[in-house]
Every structure is written in C-alpha cells, then in structure tokens.
Structure 1
Amino acid sequence: MDWLSTENVVAVGTALLGIAASGVMLWYERRVPRRKRVGYRVQMDNAIGDDASSGRANRRLGLFDEAPVMSDATLVLLRIENDGSQGIADNDYTGRELHGLTAEFTDRTVRGVSVTQPAGSVHLMDHFTPAAGFGYTGNTLRIPRVPLNPREHFKLLVLLSGGDVGRPIRIVGGIRDGEVHPNRSATPDDKPPLFSRAARTITVVLTVCVLTLAVLVVARDDSPPPIGCARGTLTVTGSTAFAPTVREAAAKYERDCGGSTVTVDAHGSTAGVRELAGLGAQAKRGSPAVIAVSDGAKPPGLPDLAENRVAVVVFALVVNDDVRLRNLSTADVRRLYRGQITNWRQLGGPDLPVRLVSRDANSGTRQVFQRRVLGRGEIANSSRDCVHKDDATAPVVRCELDATEQALSTVAQVPGGVGYSELTLAEDAKGLHLLKLDGHTPSVEALERGDGDYPYREIEYAYTYGRPPADTLVSSFLTYLSRGNGLDVVRTHGHLPCETPEGLKLCAPNETDT
C-alpha cells in the first residue's frame, strides 16, 4: 500500500498518541484532581551532635533552649502541603482524635518541635496550639487539623534523640475523599515538580514522535520525479561557458533516471553546432544522440538543426586586479579591442600595457561579445603566450584561448590582462575583478527586475538534429533541462531560465535581433 510509508506511520502514530494523551489528560482533569491530597516530604534529616560547633548551631536556632544536651541528637525538617486541586478544611480530617495527622519517627524520641511561618500563610500559625491537639509523645508528633488551600504548606522542625539519621519517617491520617501520601524527597530549596511523571513522559514521547516526523519530512526528497525518464547514452557538446551547468544537470538526471548516461564534451559553441550538423548528416535514420549547446543562435546555413531556448546567460568583462578600474564605457571597450588603447593609463588606470586575452573563433562567448558589445570582430591574434608580441607591428598583445576557465586564469596571471567570460565563472575566479559597462553591473537579478540595459548577455540555445522522438533520452534531457527539475540547476549557476516570467520576455524570438 502506497500510504504505508515510514513518515505516514509516524504521523498516524503521533496523531493517535496525541488523541490518547488528550483523553488521559481529560480523565486526569475530571477524576484525579478532584481528590483531596495531603503530601509530605522529609527535607532534612541531620545529626547535630554535642560538640561546641553543634552547640553554637543550637543556640543560633534558638528553638530548643529547654532540651537537654544530647550526643545523639538529630534534626528533621518536615514539609506538609496540599498538593491536590481542592482545599482541605479542618473537618476533612477523618481521625477520631482531636488532632488531624500523626508523624511517626522510627526508633527516635521527639524532644522538641518548631513550626515555620510560611510567607503569605500567617493564619496557619493559629492552629498549632495544645488545645488543637498539637504536641508530642515518645516517637510520635501530633499535627493539628490545619486547613490548607491548594499549594499551601507548612514546615515542622523536629528535634529528636536516639536512633540513627535516615530511619523511616511517615505521616498517617485520613482525608475525606482523598489521601495522605509521601512526596518526592527534596532539599529545603527544592520546588515540587511542575508536571507529574505521567505528564512528563507523555510530553517526551510526543516530542520524540514530532521530531522524528520532522526529520523524515525534511530529509526526504519531495522533488517530483522527472518527466519521462529515458534510458540510453547522450553526448552534450558546445559551449564551455554553459558546460558547468550542463554537467551538474547531467549528474542529477543520471541519479534521478537510472540506466541513463549523459556525457558533457564541451569545446566551443560553433564547433559543437557544426559537429552536430555533421553527425546528423551521416546518420542513416533518425537523430543522433547529441545535443549542441550554443551561446547565441547557430550560424546560418544549418536548416536541419532544431533550436530549444534554455536560459538567458549574462557575461562580463574582467581585468587583472592590478588594473584598478571598475567601469568602462562601451566606446572605450571598442577602442581597446581595436588596438587604439595600448596602456591602461590612457583610461585613467595604472601604467601597464594592455594585454587582450580572447577566446578562439569557435567560442560563443566571443561571438556574443563581438555582436553585443563591439559591433565588429576583434583585431588579429598577435601572441601565443599572452605576454609577448609575436608580431612586432601589432598595436597590442592579443592571444586566443580554447576555454573559459583557461581565459580567466590567464587574465588573473598576466599584468594588464583583460578578457571576457560567463558571469558566474568570472565571479568565482581569483586575481581579477568584473567591469561595469556604461555604469551597468553585470547581474541576473537586474534582468529579473526588468533592467535590460546591460548589453553583454545572450540566450543559451540547445540544438538537436531535427526533432527527436518524445521517448528518447535526447528529448527527455532537453525537457529536464529547460522545463523540469533541471531548472533549479540553471538558477543555481546564475542563469535566468527561459521558463520564468521575465525569461519568457527575454527569450522571445525578437530578442536575438536587439
């Protein structure tokens, strides 16, 4: 049965236990508290001796001046209280004697007694008189019929001789519709427990059940299963900037969908798109199990490739940390990449030569940069190591690298280096910082707020050769990435999914023409 899961069993058990506990408490409120109860406890039972120190203690107490010196004297402190919910009147004591209760001290003789005066209960002292039966004989102490309101108490300090400390002490007597019983032993400063043992036990059990249920609910994966899992193998190629996102989504898909293998082999947007076109042309039937991810739309002349708009990706210009500039105008960026700015001091920066760290011709990140920011291509490559010119006539050093991570590490290592990258990878890199463009900060959050003025951004496309059948791994993974559980991965990597309200606007077909 589907409902017979661990969390459901714990939930039902907790509910039943709660109902039972409520019933028990209701019964307890209706039955037990109506009984009248007198409780007593021994709060102290100490030997006081006959030496000088104990003599000083006796004199300090000032209670037993007429008692003889006793080498075997003991001092007992008794607390008697009304621990029920109803008041106890003097006629609620059922004994035939004049007094109400009798305290019995095994093997000891009562030599003297003093009654304390509880705060707020001065009226109780009037009942401790010989006429009310208060007194002692041998090992017994007669306690008067003292009326007690709920939670009210009094204490008796009793001087004894003979016998050892710790010998049994009990109080006997009868209460109409109630009982006299011993309470938990406590020291004079202790307070009686606020809740009974039964109440504490029920509370602990309920708490454990609720915590267990909470752990089960939090720990379990509530994500709905991916739409239409498929088995088989799939290769995702293309953009290196979007590759970290695809790798994590692929790993998550493989965990969610057993029997699937998704390999990510990224080596540039254009190279990936052309590879897909070639594999599709060679296939005798159907669509190859390949997806090409591209930063921006595919080159013209590839009509057999079907597009799927996945997300809006934000890119950023980055400079070495030694270049302390934080903002450049689009006009200055164009001058940099035309070779018209050769030293950063020309833009108000440090005295460092400009070194352009670019991507190769297959890079979608480069193509987006040229299309969205420069409005034209970059100047010719002039360096293999990104530091020295191979062409002495070149205005500035410019090198080309194969991958986003490689470009970022080079900018961080080369003094005066400047380059470009996908935003999230750039934010995580060390030794470099981002540049604003015309005062606009590269930010996905700004796009979600409707600020579309930052220019260096592009739609991320996923291309297939034709439309793959719905039951294939290609189709399933595309759905997972663009509309299924993979959307969380896309967001985690700092991209704006096309399926979001703002993403739908930015991913509209006319967005590529703006």
Structure 2
Amino acid sequence: MDTFPWEITLTVLGVVIPTVAGVYEFFFIGRRRLGYRIQMDTRAFGGEFAGARHPSLVLVRIENNGSVPVDVDDYMETDPVGLSVRFPRRRVVRAFDPARRGPSSPTNAIPELNRDPERAEPDVLRLPRVPLNRNEHYKVLVLLDELDGDAAPDRDGDASDAVMESRIKGGRVIRTRYRSGVSRGVVALITVMASLIVALYYVSGEDSAAAVDCAAGKLTVVGSTAFRPVVEKAAESYLRACAGAPGEVEIEVRAAGSQEGVRALDEAGRRAGEAGPAMLAFSDGPKGEGHPQLLPRPVSFSLLTLVVSEDAGVQDLTPAQIRRVYAGRYRNWKDVGGNDLPIALVGRYSSSGSRRALEERLLDGATEPNVTSQDCRRRVARPDNPTLRCERGSTAEVLDTVAAVPGALGYAEAHAAAAEADRLHLVRIGGQPAELDAADRGVYPFWATEYAYTYGQPAADSLTAGFLRYITQEVGQDVIREYGQRPCADLANPRLCRPS
C-alpha cells in the first residue's frame, strides 16, 4: 500500500489548523462576547475637583470582541441597566464620553445614573444598553473619589482594581488585556499541530526530492553577471534538495553579460533543433530584437546604483547632471560641486543588461561614450570623444575599478555595490537612495527587470523547466530576497515586471 505523501499531509493540516482554531474560537470561546479594558487609572488634578477631594480618572473601553453583534436585548433582563463596573474603595463622581460624539452618545445618560451621592452602591458605574457590532467599541472616562480619605497611587491599566459585574445572554463579559492574537487555548492547539507538521517533515525526508520537482541531466545557465550570485545560490540549494533523486543532476553557471547570454541561448537552440537546448539565459532587461524563439519569464526586480570613488567628493547627482557627465559636458567633479578631480567613467560592454538599463532609465536613450582608455587612468586622445571612459566585463570588475581609480564613476547591482561601501560611495539620484520600495513607487529611476529566457517551451519534466520553477517559487524567491532583489510577485506595481 502506498504511503500518504507528506506534501498532501501538510496541505491537509494547513487547512485543518485554521479550521479547527476557528471552530474552537467560535463555539468554545464564545460567539457573543463583550470585553472591557481599563486603559488608564491615575490620580488627577493634584487637589479637590468637582466635589472629589482625592480625584482619580479611569478610562474604560467596552468592545465587542465576539463573533456576532450584541443588541440591546442581549443584556440580562435582571440588570436594570446594561453593564455595571465596580471601583472598590472609590466613589463614582461623574462619567464622560471622551469622544464627545453628541446627543446620541450612549454615555450622555451616565451622569444621571450616578448623580445621587446617597445611593446604595456609590462605587458602581452603571452603563446603558449599547448595541455593538463586531469589533465596535466605545469609551467612558470616569471621575472617582477615594473613599478612604487618602490619595491612592497611580495604577497601571492592567493592574487596576476596577471589575465588571455584568453578564450577557448566551455569552459572557471578560476583561481583556493589552495583547493581540488568539486565545491561549488556540495558541496551544496550533503549537501542537505545528509540531506534528515538523515531525512529518523530518520523518518524510526521503520524499523531499520529489517535492522540489527534480530531473536528471545537465543544465547550463548563462547571461547576467549582476544576477549570477542569485543563480549560483539557487543552484546549490536545488542540487542539495535533489541529492536523493534518481539520476545525476548538474548545473553549470556561465555569466558573461545579459545580451551575450541571450545570443548564446539563441544559437544553442538553433543547433539543438526540436528537442531544444538544456539552457537558461538570465537578462537584466528585455532580450532585444532578433530572437523570436526566446520566451521571457519575469523573475525579479533588480535595483541598480551609480558608484563613485571615495575621493570624488560627491554622493548625490541629479538626473540632469548624470546626463551631462555621460555626454562629456562635465569632465571634472568640481563641475558638480565635488573635488577638483577628472571624471573617469567605468562602463560595461554593449552586451550588458545593466548598461542598457543605464542608457534607458538615466540617459534618456542616449548611449555611453566610446572607449578612450584601457586602464581607466590615461585617456587616448579622440576628437569625437572628450571623456575618459573604459569598459569592464562584470559587476565585480566595475566595483574593483571604481574603488581603485581616483575620480571613477560606474554602475552596478545595488546589493553587490552595498557590500563594497567601505571603499566607494553609492550615489543618490535626485536625493533618493537606491531602495526597492522607492523604485517600486516610481521615485527611484535606476532599476531593471530580471528575465529568464528559454528557447521555446521546455518539456515540463525537463531539468530546464524544473529549475526555472524552483527559482520562481518559494525557495528561489527567498534566495532572490536574500540578495537584495525582489520577486516580481512582491511588487505593489506588478507592471514593472511585465515583459516588454
């Protein structure tokens, strides 16, 4: 007989836990329930006030924290009023509605109920029958006088001696504390069932490879150098999860630039024919024209940043200043308020997706200047290009060069750049730092959508399809977040990840 798959067990328990907790809360904890909180209990005024020689103020909150509304008929018929709150050793002087909601306020009647100083129970506050829908509440501010003749110390709200002495039909009135969440019984129930889930996970470890959707074979991943750390970490995790699966699994990561990866995938697909290549390409941005067989899948929202050497003397540039620097109109950092130091542009090869994002999002579609230097220090004279600019093949090489060359300006994936912040500066753009939320809201302009490309539609049971599903689902998304990027599913504005 086949064993019951642990994934199905987890799914069933995932439905059972909230269902059982809800039923327990609904039927056993109470459908109709009023709660009261003492939100303040303190000495007041420092002397006699409104007939109280030793006045104190108490703020009482009445709330419907049950699962059904409470109507006027739900209060006990034996109680001439709705609710009664007793304040031992104190006399109720007056009660107020702190919200001052007007003539319809339920607390307008409270002073009339407590005005007679000779009544039998001067320490009791009587509240009218107030209908309350689920989660509704009202508050009452009570002026009290100490009966023992001495001013009592301040009391914490939870430590107040005030107590409710009323009931409601088919339910109860309870004192609530300053805490959130479900009751202790429900917490205990969830804890026990969660422990069962953990136990099932460990005793069913032999089935974990199947849950990851493993497939045997060799996969080659090409493309973006900025996204390479994410791919490598995801590949390591995938291989560990598939260690017990039948057949050998191998993933090789070769990152040489987004457009280079797109071209490599296209060429491999044309050679492979109908079977298609066991290859994925990741690109910082769209594939461009001329690759009709490549299918895009948005994977993540990648944040990019400008970086400068420490001695440049700038940490913020406006979009207009950035365009003028790359157009060659500003060639010294003093032109933008920095130090008297020549600007050395450190760019990427034309195959770089990060370069395409720079040109599209910061340069209004203009291209970077031509190369005029190999070492990024000495400029080769070119009459058509007055700037000093060199190129590097990867994110890491750009960061190393910017950190080493005086006056250098480059660009890189933001998480990788932040790791080098001890030797270079991340540049704010128009006063806005490189932050994912700011880019998501449209106030930070330098970002790119990370796409995964396949040559046609890979077979569902192939290693290509399996790894692609892995990196775009839960575990892979955690890796993406770990490296400072954001899965497309997390975006408040999902159109940013829409294929172009």
TM-score scaled to structure 1, two decimals?
0.55
CA drift at 1:231: 1.3
Cross-structure match for 2:311: 322
Going from structure 1 to structure 2, the CA distance change for 1:343 and 1:222 (only over 3 Å counts) comes to farther
State yes or no: 1:253 paired with 2:243. no
Task: Tell me the distance in 2 between the aligned counterparts of 1:360 and 1:497.
Answer: 27
8 Å contact kept, 1:236–1:293: yes
Which range is displaced more, 456-465 or 435-444? 435-444
Cross-structure match for 2:425: 433
Same amino acid, percent of matched pairs: 39
8 Å contact kept, 1:227–1:484: no
State yes or no: 1:467 paired with 2:447. no
State yes or no: 1:348 paired with 2:337. yes
State yes or no: 1:236 paired with 2:226. no
What amino acid sits opposite 1:320 in the alignment? S
8 Å contact kept, 1:496–1:503: no
Task: Tell me the distance in 1 between the aligned counterparts of 2:430 and 2:202.
Answer: 47
Q: Secondary structure at the match of 2:461?
A: coil
Task: Tell me the distance in 2 between the aligned counterparts of 1:499 and 1:234.
Answer: 25
Q: Secondary structure at the match of 2:492?
A: helix
What amino acid sits opposite 1:301 in the alignment? G
Matches within 5 A, 1:439-454: 439-447=431-439, 450-454=440-444
Please list the CA deviations of residues 478-503 of structure 1 after superposition, one character each: whole Å capped at 9, or x if unmatched: 00011242111011001110122526
Matches within 5 A, 1:297-376: 297-375=286-364, 376=366
State yes or no: 1:279 paired with 2:271. no
Please list the CA deviations of residues 319-347 of structure 1 after superposition, one character each: whole Å capped at 9, or x if unmatched: 00112212101110000011111110111
- The match for 2:489 among 451, 476, 499 is 499
Which structure has the bigger radius of gyration?
A: 1
Cross-structure match for 2:49: none
Task: Tell me the distance in 2 between the aligned counterparts of 1:398 and 1:235.
Answer: 33
Q: Secondary structure at the match of 1:391?
A: coil
8 Å contact kept, 2:223–2:260: yes
8 Å contact kept, 1:227–1:479: no
CA drift at 1:433: 1.0
What amino acid sits opposite 1:422 in the alignment? E
Matches within 5 A, 1:191-202: none
Please list the CA deviations of residues 143-199 of structure 1 after superposition, one character each: whole Å capped at 9, or x if unmatched: xxxxxxxxxxxxxxxxxxxxxxxxxxxxxxxxxxxxxxxxxxxxxxxxxxxxxxxxx
What amino acid sits opposite 1:431 in the alignment? R
Please list the CA deviations of residues 114-171 of structure 1 after superposition, one character each: whole Å capped at 9, or x if unmatched: xxxxxxxxxxxxxxxxxxxxxxxxxxxxxxxxxxxxxxxxxxxxxxxxxxxxxxxxxx
Size of the alignment, in residue pairs? Answer: 303
CA drift at 1:437: 0.9
Going from structure 1 to structure 2, the CA distance change for 1:220 and 1:319 (only over 3 Å counts) comes to farther
Q: Secondary structure at the match of 1:274?
A: helix
What amino acid sits opposite 1:272 in the alignment? G
Q: Secondary structure at the match of 2:286?
A: coil
Task: Tell me the distance in 2 between the aligned counterparts of 1:418 and 1:220.
Answer: 51
State yes or no: 1:476 paired with 2:466. yes
8 Å contact kept, 1:483–1:499: no
Matches within 5 A, 1:59-138: none
8 Å contact kept, 1:480–1:486: yes
Please list the CA deviations of residues 411-463 of structure 1 after superposition, one character each: whole Å capped at 9, or x if unmatched: 0000000000001110001411111111221112434xx52221111110010
Task: Tell me the distance in 2 between the aligned counterparts of 1:354 and 1:477.
Answer: 43
TM-score scaled to structure 2, two decimals?
0.57
Q: Secondary structure at the match of 1:390?
A: coil
Unmatched tracts of structure 2, length 5 or more: 7-191
State yes or no: 1:418 paired with 2:433. no
CA drift at 1:379: 1.2
State yes or no: 1:487 paired with 2:487. no
8 Å contact kept, 1:357–1:386: yes
Task: Tell me the distance in 2 between the aligned counterparts of 1:221 and 1:425.
Answer: 39
CA drift at 1:464: 0.6
Q: Secondary structure at the match of 2:275?
A: coil
Task: Tell me the distance in 1 between the aligned counterparts of 2:321 and 2:203.
Answer: 50
8 Å contact kept, 1:339–1:395: yes
Going from structure 1 to structure 2, the CA distance change for 1:499 and 1:402 (only over 3 Å counts) comes to same
Task: Tell me the distance in 1 between the aligned counterparts of 2:323 and 2:401.
Answer: 21
8 Å contact kept, 2:242–2:249: yes
Going from structure 1 to structure 2, the CA distance change for 1:221 and 1:287 (only over 3 Å counts) comes to farther
Going from structure 1 to structure 2, the CA distance change for 1:505 and 1:384 (only over 3 Å counts) comes to same
Unmatched tracts of structure 1, length 5 or more: 6-209
Cross-structure match for 2:371: 381
Please list the CA deviations of residues 219-273 of structure 1 after superposition, one character each: whole Å capped at 9, or x if unmatched: 9699976442111110100000000110000110000113321111000001110
8 Å contact kept, 1:482–1:499: no
Give the aligned CA root-mean-square deviation in angstroms.
Answer: 2.9
What amino acid sits opposite 1:412 in the alignment? A
State yes or no: 1:458 paired with 2:448. yes
Q: Secondary structure at the match of 2:273?
A: coil
8 Å contact kept, 1:320–1:433: yes
Task: Tell me the distance in 2 between the aligned counterparts of 1:229 and 1:496.
Answer: 25
Q: Secondary structure at the match of 1:502?
A: coil
Q: Secondary structure at the match of 2:220?
A: strand
What amino acid sits opposite 1:428 in the alignment? A
Please list the CA deviations of residues 25-84 of structure 1 after superposition, one character each: whole Å capped at 9, or x if unmatched: xxxxxxxxxxxxxxxxxxxxxxxxxxxxxxxxxxxxxxxxxxxxxxxxxxxxxxxxxxxx
Matches within 5 A, 1:97-246: 226-246=211-231
Q: Secondary structure at the match of 2:441?
A: coil
8 Å contact kept, 2:369–2:387: no
Task: Tell me the distance in 2 between the aligned counterparts of 1:324 and 1:318.
Answer: 12
